[in-house]
Amino acid sequence: MPSPAKTSAARIVAAARELVERDGHDALAMAEVAAKVGVRAPSLYGHFADRAALLAAVELELLAELRRVLTAVKPSRDPVATLTRHARVYRAFAKQHPRGYALIYAADADRSDAGLRARADALAPTLPSFIALAGDRDALRAARVLTPFLHGFVAMELAGAFRLGPGIDAAFEHGVATILAGLRTRRR
């Protein structure tokens, strides 16, 4: 009878995610992950082929969490109100997990089929509101207008790039409102 595993893939991913959040994904070392879960580094390779596979698993977990927090937004009859709440939740998620968020958008992020599906699934809770706001035909186009604003704003905020005084929250709200008002006007 084989001996029981000393750790699990879930524990390894949790440890790696914690280390990514602490030090960033570029600093993730398999030996440090192994030490965190109480095994030797070679034991990790029974669960993950390599460091890239482990980072991909961390990324999938982060995207699943983003989907959960977006899904938790209670939709209203007004798609603009719902999308505004989604935008706030997206920003809060990024600020709560700044280095994990950076991993999701890193140049070496997971581009496998599973990774691409997870990206689409993460933002899927917003699509009904985009459809209600822009129509079936233009929903994806509308999402492609708001999402880059959100990412750009959040990335700049996390990098400390807004140094010209206070009002960052108001600027965020103004940007979201302006984009959504433009999308609403375009539908008419």
Q: Considering the domain boundaries, does residue 27 fall inside one?
A: no
Q: Do the domain assignments include residue 46?
A: no
The predicted structure's pLDDT at residue 5? 63
Mean pLDDT by 10 residues, the chain (188 residues): 69 97 96 95 93 96 97 96 98 97 89 90 96 93 95 95 89 97 76
Rounded to 5°, the CA angle 66-13-112 comes to 65
Q: Whole-model pTM?
A: 0.91
Q: Is residue 45 a part of any domain in this protein? A: no
Q: What's 103's domain CATH number?
A: 1.10.357.10
Q: 141-161 as b/e, with b when 16 or more CB fall inside 10 Å?
A: ebbebbeeebeebbeebeeee
Structural domain includes residue 33: no
Q: How many distinct structural domains can be found in the chain?
A: 1
- Residue 3 is predicted with a pLDDT of 40
Q: Which structural domain range is residue 91 located in?
A: 58-187
User: For residue 128, is it within any domain?
Assistant: yes
